[in-house]
Structure 1
Amino acid sequence: MTNVTAAMDLPALALPRHVEDVRAVAPLPGKAFDLEWLPDGRTTLFFRALEGGRKGDVWVAGPRMRAIIKSKTGLARTVILRFKPGWSVPLLGVAASELTDRIVPLEEVWGRAARELCGELLAAGSRADVMDRVARALALRAGQSFETASGQLARRAVRLLEGGEVRVERVAGRLGITARHLRRAFIENVGIGPKEFARTVRLQRAVRMAATSCDWARIAADAGYYDQAHLIADFRQLLGLTPGAFFKRAGGRMTRPKLITSEFPLPVP
């Protein structure tokens, strides 16, 4: 389900069915833009306009298995679109595995179409206009390709894993395929294997639960871990921190870009 608040006031056409989440950020002039990215098995599109409004770029971030922290100054605005898992092939034209743990210019994937899109986004006068142009570009790409059977299979498996199923073997059985077949579909369309994806699902559940609870044993059980030690090991390996250290740094919550409600400024002539 696409996650957009009413405060964004975006038209319906700006939210393609392939997009799960939209974030718009306008840092204060001269201030750094910090983004803490947790592993979640998603591919993300970034548009960045530099201060002054004349230059910018568009990047693609593939699914990650370890957290990453980015800090950048000199940005006027940033729009972040997170795709639903399993849409890299029809939207980007490449297997998701080619983007795993990578952040690359969209131009490396789309060529001239990416340069043209960046120019259109820099010329956009409002947030709604930015989203409209991105939506049209994505719709064009999706219309030129087709949904593969492996892509549909991977997306069905994603829904099962995020819906509460914790064992990959049971997911494969419910889909009537082997675990090996499921892994091939996941690698191509999601970018990581189903067991690795299930691991990010557990981590995300634990992070959400820990925002309102300090009972780590209960959180571990409810999130799908074997025990509390299993949870702590995953935090160390995926985030590089113990649960306590992570939430102390994050102020007790996931640090994600805040939505803004004001219109983007017009480009400087």
Structure 2
Amino acid sequence: MHPWIENVALQAPTTPITVLPPDPATTVVWRMTHAGESDVLIAGPRTRAAYHTSKDLPVCLRLRIRPGRALPLLGAAADELVDRTVPLSDLTGSSANALAGRLVTYKDEPEQAVEVLGDFLLGRLPRRLPDRLELVGEAAAELASEAAPRTVGETAQRLGVSERYLRRVFREAVGVSPKHFARITRVRTVIAHARRSWSDAAACAGYTDQSHLIADFRSLMRVTPEAYATGRVPLSTC
């Protein structure tokens, strides 16, 4: 699974508010209610943060697909899923409903549920994978690098393609432009280093200065770093 799935998270509400940072990845979500209802959803790339009142769900399992690999697994380009959450059945038909029913058996065995979900997704892979799969993966890795993040132009040059071509295939495969991907990744890095000072977090994420961090943070997280740190966030009404 690791070439296709970046990470797996079993979520449980630990705070009254669920924070969903911007995310350039497409995610497979399996959830159950206390009434025993089960569904599998596809959450497309999220361009800005969302904040919701936490729901008490006995199971909420999230499989984060590696950037650029949604199309072979799901049969839908990531740019068609941006800022949308759709039932898996919309993409794969009734087989997704049967999958959701089968997963109920593994409500207390998340590792088994991950295996069942993975087998379902991998079973849908076409015999021939897109030629640009590795190109997009390499570009995403470079643009997300904390050690030495590259510009889009530098990344295209190193990969031996034009910047225009890279932008086109990257947006289709990942869902957002390379530049927006890099911005989202930097903000997510800042959140990961939130216990440090904002200046340290800015340096870790590759920002040139703290003002640059604050501008990006406000744009993508919809609040300032200070408001975010103190829990003053705009709750969704839906």
Who is 2:34 aligned against?
A: 51
Pair 41,222 (structure 1): closer, same or farther in 2 beyond 3 Å: same
Change (3 A) 1:33 1:247: closer
Q: Does 1:192 align with 2:163?
A: no
- Structure 1 counterpart of 2:79: 97
Q: Distance in 2 between matches of 1:210 and 1:25?
A: 20
- 1:194-247 Cα offsets, whole Å, 9 max, x none, are 000010121122222332x21x33433442223221111111110111111112
In percent, how many aligned pairs have the same letter? 37
**TM-score scaled by length of structure 1:** 0.78
Q: Which moved more, 1:146-155 or 1:193-202?
A: 146-155
Structure 1 residue aligned with 2:186: 202
Paired residues for 1:23-42 under 5 Å? 23-26=9-12, 34-42=17-25
Moved more, 188-197 or 36-45: 36-45
Aligned to 1:84: 66
Structure-to-structure mapping, 1:1-269, within 5 angstroms: 15-26=1-12, 34-53=17-36, 55-71=37-53, 73=55, 75-124=57-106, 126-142=109-125, 144-163=126-145, 164-211=148-195, 213-214=196-197, 216-249=198-231
User: The residue matched to 1:51 in structure 2 has which SS?
Assistant: coil
Shift of 1:177: 0.9
Judged with a 3 Å threshold, the aligned counterparts in structure 2 of structure 1 residues 34 and 47 are, in CA distance, closer, same or farther, namely farther
The answer for unaligned runs of 5 or more in structure 2 is 233-238
Give the CA deviation at 1:73.
3.5
Gap change, CA 1:40 and 1:166, over 3 Å in 2: farther
Distance 1:73 1:160, change over 3 A: closer
Distance 2:118 2:192 in 1: 29
Please give the alpha-carbon distance, in whole angstroms, between the structure 1 residues aligned to 2:41 and 2:159: 34
Give the whole-Å Cα distance in 2 for the aligned partners of 1:195 and 1:90.
Answer: 23
Q: Aligned partners of 1:239 and 1:73: how far apart in 2?
A: 21
One-letter amino acid of the counterpart of residue 171, structure 1: T
Q: In 1, distance between residues paired with 2:227 and 2:13?
A: 26
SS of the residue aligned with 1:249? coil
The aligned residue for residue 236 of structure 2 is: none
Aligned residue pairs total: 229
Task: Structure 1: give runs of 5+ residues left out of the alignment.
Answer: 1-14, 251-269
Contact 2:30 2:41 in 1 (8 A): yes
- Any conservation in 2 of the 1:35–1:70 contact (CA below 8 Å)? yes
Measure how far apart 1:35 and its partner are: 2.9
TM-score (norm. length: structure 2): 0.88
